[in-house]
Amino acid sequence: MKVKNLKSSLMLLLTATVWGVAFVAQSVGMDYIGPFTFNAVRSLIGGLVLIPCIWLLNRGKPQQEKSASPKNRKVLLIGGVCCGVILAVASSFQQIGIQYTTVGKAGFITALYIVIVPLMGLLFKKRVSALVWLAVAIAVGGMYLLCITEGFSIGKGDLLVIACAICFSIHILVIDHFSPMVDGVQMSCIQFLTCGVLCAVPALLLERPSIAQILAAWMPLIYAGVFSCGVGYTLQIVGQRNVDPTVASLILSLESVISVLAGWILLGQKLTIRELAGCILVFCAIVLAQLPQKKKQAQKTDGICVSTSNISD
């Protein structure tokens, strides 16, 4: 089980890396098309990319595994649609909110899901250890040093990004519920196709994008669609199977650290001492959050009866 948890944590770390670099793509893409159009196109690309992946993964499976029961197909469809609806709302709030607030504020507020997830988890009787709460507090402090470089005030854009953080928190908990029961890649594909269709409606009604505009933004759209959506969110779904949702949210919050590093490397933005301190604090929080799980697993493996059902749902 230690190997499974380590593998899942590494998947979530890779997810955070892909998402962190995607901030650059999102920033560039908004120069050509509107937020709903950007989300619609990249989500549809992400869903279409996964279709051949699903076919390739199913080729080597026995016929019994390929033919899922009607009950399993229903759970898969419900899970994918639920994730897609929440993702459409969350990503739309984020893209629109960024237009009315600074990127630093948006990054910090979005990362508040590291606090919201354990608070929401309490409603579902998911206990969180004191050490994980300490890790959350350290991560929030790190996010503040990393993202906030000016006076903090609540405006229209801030409220929209707060709504985004709440939606992403719900998204993490919904994935935590469905991911152990279904195929992660298939659910990810359904979620993106759902998100793409939902975002396409306001895009066509409000933004009326042209093919020329979309083609002009092809590079950021390809990265956001193939890597951020197709690869990133799929790794999130698969990686969360063996990781507590609170710890998962802490690992995923590293996207803010990586976005700063990506801006430094790709856009020539320099890191200040304050931002470096924020990166170090967030990294320490991630390491700290792993400690309680390792102790619990060690106790289980040392016992006479080893439970094989310690995946949270």
For range 4-33, the mean pLDDT: 83
What pLDDT does residue 138 have? Answer: 87
Confidence of residue 296 (pLDDT cuts 50, 70, 90): very low
Domain extents in the chain: 2-58+70-110+148-242+253-267
Confidence of residue 222 (pLDDT cuts 50, 70, 90): very high
Confidence of residue 291 (pLDDT cuts 50, 70, 90): low
Q: Is the pLDDT of residue 102 over 70?
A: no
Q: Which residue has the tokens 């908990």?
A: 173
Confidence of residue 202 (pLDDT cuts 50, 70, 90): very high
For range 285-292, the mean pLDDT: 68
What is the per-residue pLDDT across 75-101, written as a single tens digit (0 to 9) for each?
999 999 999 999 999 999 988 887 777
For range 254-283, the mean pLDDT: 76
Percent of the chain with pLDDT over 70: 81
Annotate the chain with DSSP letters as a single string. Answer: -HHHHHHHHHHHHHHHHHHHHHHHHHHHHTTTS-HHHHHHHHHHHHHHHHHHHHHHHHHTS-HHHHS--HHHHHHHHHHHHHHHHHHHHHHHHHHHHHTTS-HHHHHHHHTTHHHHHHHHHHHTT----HHHHHHHHHHHHHHHHHH--S-----HHHHHHHHHHHHHHHHHHHHHHHTTTS-HHHHHHHHHHHHHHHHHHHIIIII---HHHHHHTHHHHHIIIIIIIIIIIHHHHHHGGGS-HHHHHHHHTHHHHHHHHHHHHHS-PPPPHHHHHHHHHHHHHHHHHHHHHHHHHHHHHHSSS--S-----
Q: Is the pLDDT of residue 50 over 90?
A: no
The residue among 295 and 152 whose pLDDT is bigger is: 152
What pLDDT does residue 219 have? Answer: 92
